[in-house]
């Protein structure tokens, strides 16, 4: 066995890890990117709705309305479900999530993450141009539709509240919805068209394009088990099939699997997951979907991906590795067919993924306090695709001694001490 040497090991080749590797490489560091798969973007980064969400400045917080909480508790909310068998395991984290969602705490979180949200599309556009894949990005925004006057009214007020933070969009009536999406069916109280976000036609493909750019620029990609990471004299060591890899520094960017590395090192970080499912369909006849569309009251997204029309569910609270239970997808499908003329499914089985979440819905980005040369970059909740390049830049600036473009303190792991 020989030793491969590098300046930095980045563990995890999803959007977050690949972006961090690229930003470190841009700053002259010799980086080895490590993943259990032979290709980048095969896990959480593959299965999202494709939106670079520079309009979502308020994190996805736990509701404060009793009626909505009751529906969640009874498992009646279409956008949220829990596995009863897993409730004892996830309930303590849900309590922390509820407490962290208090309005004043949620407001502080929104202000803290705002510089990253504002930078998200800019950082993606720079990497997309360098990677040579402009065809994967559309500047079309997305549409959030509401069937009830009450939910639409609440959303319109939130939209007005977001205006001073630079969020732009249009309020749509049924006629305007039909003009933008002529093949949708149904009566709606209204909709919001967020016009600035980007839409990625193949999120997993974009992560692979970024990884290909990383390798073209001299970066190395290694298939290995990240759980073999150990601290050694002068840095960190990782075992691979035929080699060992040694570097001065290591970055944990393993998304929902980050705990497999940080827990053995003694860190008690409240990382949990929100699971989700998707399935691709052919459109029937000549039907076309022009934008990603969220049916807010019924809890699903339809997005026009390269692979087909992607039907994406909301949140399932369950253990990360529990067997799949795609009940939300089954319930959403007839509603989705009523909204848009979906044809035959393209996938043989539904895809299942896990969004890595901290109770305050902010990622952990920064230095591990008790281990020299160890850094964290995980917990991006619903916004891994959105925030990956922005947090990659922030982390790289911190690691190389540059002045960070945003205040990193809201993302420090010490906030959970």
Instruction: Kindly report, residue by residue over 80-132, the tens digit of the pLDDT.
Output: 999 999 999 999 999 999 999 999 999 999 899 999 999 999 999 999 999 99
CA 66 to chain centre: 28
Whether 279 shows a pLDDT value over 80: the answer reads: yes
For 390-408, what is each residue's pLDDT tens digit? 999 999 999 999 999 999 9
279 phi, psi to nearest 5 deg: -150, 140
- In degrees, rounded to 5, the angle at the alpha carbon of residue 60 between the alpha carbons of residues 56 and 65 is 120
Strand segments (E) across 195-345: 198-200, 220-223, 230-232, 235-239, 243-252, 272-283, 293-295, 300-305, 308-313, 315-317, 342-345
Q: Which long-range contacts (CB under 8 A, 24 or more apart) does 101-106 make?
A: 101/61, 101/62, 101/63, 101/64, 103/64, 105/360, 106/58, 106/59, 106/61
Cα pseudo-dihedral 291, 294, 295, 299, rounded to 10:
150
31 forms beta bridges with 8
Q: What is the mean pLDDT of residues 183-198?
A: 96
What per-residue confidence (pLDDT) applies to 1?
58
Comparing 249 with 159, which gets the higher pLDDT? 249
Quick: pLDDT tens for 324-346: 999 999 999 999 999 999 999 99
| Count of all residues that appear for the chain in the document | 417
Cα separation, 94 vs 69, in Å, equals 12
Q: Which residues pair with 279 in a beta bridge?
A: 311
Domains of the chain: 2-47+204-270+360-416 (3.50.50.60)
């Amino acid at each position: 066995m020989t030793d491969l040497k590098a300046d930095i090991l980045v563990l995890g080749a999803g959007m977050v890890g690949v972006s961090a590797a690229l930003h470190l490489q841009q700053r002259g560091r010799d980086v080895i990117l490590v993943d259990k798969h032979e290709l980048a973007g095969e896990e959480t980064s593959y299965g999202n709705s494709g939106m670079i969400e520079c309009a979502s400045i308020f994190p996805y917080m736990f509701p404060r309305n009793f009626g909505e909480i009751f529906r969640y508790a009874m498992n009646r909310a279409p956008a949220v479900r829990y596995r009863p068998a897993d409730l004892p395991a996830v309930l303590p984290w849900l309590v922390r999530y509820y407490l962290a969602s208090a309005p004043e705490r949620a407001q502080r979180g929104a202000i803290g993450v705002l510089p990253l949200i504002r930078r998200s599309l800019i950082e993606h556009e720079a990497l997309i141009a360098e990677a040579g894949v402009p065809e994967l990005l559309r500047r079309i925004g997305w549409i959030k539709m509401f069937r009830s006057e009450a939910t639409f009214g609440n959303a319109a007020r939130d939209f007005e509240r977001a205006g001073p933070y630079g969020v732009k969009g249009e309020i749509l009536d049924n006629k305007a919805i039909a003009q933008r999406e002529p093949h949708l069916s149904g009566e709606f109280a209204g909709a919001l068209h967020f016009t600035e976000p980007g839409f990625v036609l193949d999120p997993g493909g974009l992560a692979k394009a970024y990884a290909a750019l990383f390798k073209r620029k001299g970066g190395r990609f290694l298939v290995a088990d990240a759980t073999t990471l150990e601290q050694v004299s002068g840095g960190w060591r990782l075992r691979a099939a035929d080699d060992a890899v040694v570097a001065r520094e290591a970055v944990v960017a393993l998304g929902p699997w980050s705990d497999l590395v940080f827990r053995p090192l003694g860190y008690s970080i409240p990382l949990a997951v929100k699971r989700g499912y998707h399935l691709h369909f052919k459109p029937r006849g000549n039907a076309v979907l022009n934008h990603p569309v969220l049916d807010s009251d019924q809890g699903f997204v339809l997005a026009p991906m390269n692979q087909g029309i992607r039907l994406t569910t909301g949140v399932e609270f369950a253990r990360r590795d529990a067997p799949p239970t795609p009940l939300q997808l089954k319930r959403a499908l007839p509603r989705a067919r009523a909204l848009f003329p979906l044809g035959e499914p393209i996938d043989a089985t539904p895809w299942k993924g896990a969004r890595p979440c901290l109770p305050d819905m902010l990622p952990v980005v920064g230095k591990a306090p008790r281990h020299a040369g160890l850094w964290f970059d995980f917990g991006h909740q619903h916004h891994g695709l959105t925030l990956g390049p922005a947090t990659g830049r922030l982390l790289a600036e911190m690691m190389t001694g540059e002045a960070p473009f945003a205040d990193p303190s809201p993302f420090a792991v010490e906030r959970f001490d």
